[in-house]
Amino acid sequence: MKLVELSVKDFLNIVDSKSPAPGGGSVSALVSALGCTLGRMVAHLTFDKKKYKELSEGEQIIFKNSFEEIDDYRKVLEELVDKDTEAYNLVMAAYKLPKENDAEKEIRKITIEKNLKLAIETPLEICKISKKTLKALKIILKYGNKNAITDLGVSAILL
């Protein structure tokens, strides 16, 4: 079963265990995805408001585009929740490779290095997507429902 398919309680319990995975990368991907959902919530609370309907067509298009863009980022972040744990598991598997002779030691060393590089890619991608989402949130902040501004603040903190 995928981590993103777990209940919130089950996910919390897995993180709060002696298992090293899911760890910081998976949790940060999930937290960033929550940041996306809060930003979109503010947009949902904006669409039917009089002030939104008074915006020019161009401004509404910009707002809707940001809304959709944030959803695209959320979907990628959801995938990264599991991808980070998968990458970590590859690193751990590499450390378990045999090292009885020089050939095995070399294969193990190369595999560890390769898998560590893979494991770094996911947290870096989470950071890049979070930064892009923060840019899109500026549009939600500019035109969004001001009664939900604190939710945007929490969204930004999560991202």
Sign of CA dihedral 18, 23, 26, 31: positive
48-83 confidence digits (pLDDT tens): 999 999 999 999 999 999 999 999 999 999 999 999
- Write down the residue that tokens 């089950």 correspond to: 10
Burial class of residue 28 in the structure, from the number of CB atoms within 10 Å of its CB (0-12 exposed, 13-18 middle, 19+ buried): buried
Query: pLDDT digit string (tens) for 83-133?
Result: 999 999 999 999 999 999 999 999 999 999 999 999 999 999 999 999 999
Q: Could you say which of 3.30.390.30, 3.40.50.300, 1.25.40.10, 1.20.120.680 is the CATH number of the domain covering 21-158?
A: 1.20.120.680
Say yes or no to pLDDT of 26 above 90.
Answer: yes
Calculate the CA dihedral of residues 24, 19, 76, 151 and round it to 10 degrees: -50
Domain boundaries, the chain: 21-158
Q: Give CA separation, 72 vs 59, 78, 95, 106, 118, in Å.
A: 20, 10, 35, 41, 23
Does residue 136 register a pLDDT over 90?
yes
Which amino acid makes up residue 22? Answer: P
Q: Has residue 148 got a pLDDT over 90? A: yes
At 1, the pLDDT band (50, 70, 90 cuts) reads confident
The pTM of the whole model exceeds 0.85:
yes
> DSSP states of 67-86 as a string?
HHHHHHHHHHHHHHHHHHHH
pLDDT of residue 5: 93
**Rg value, the chain, Cα:** 20
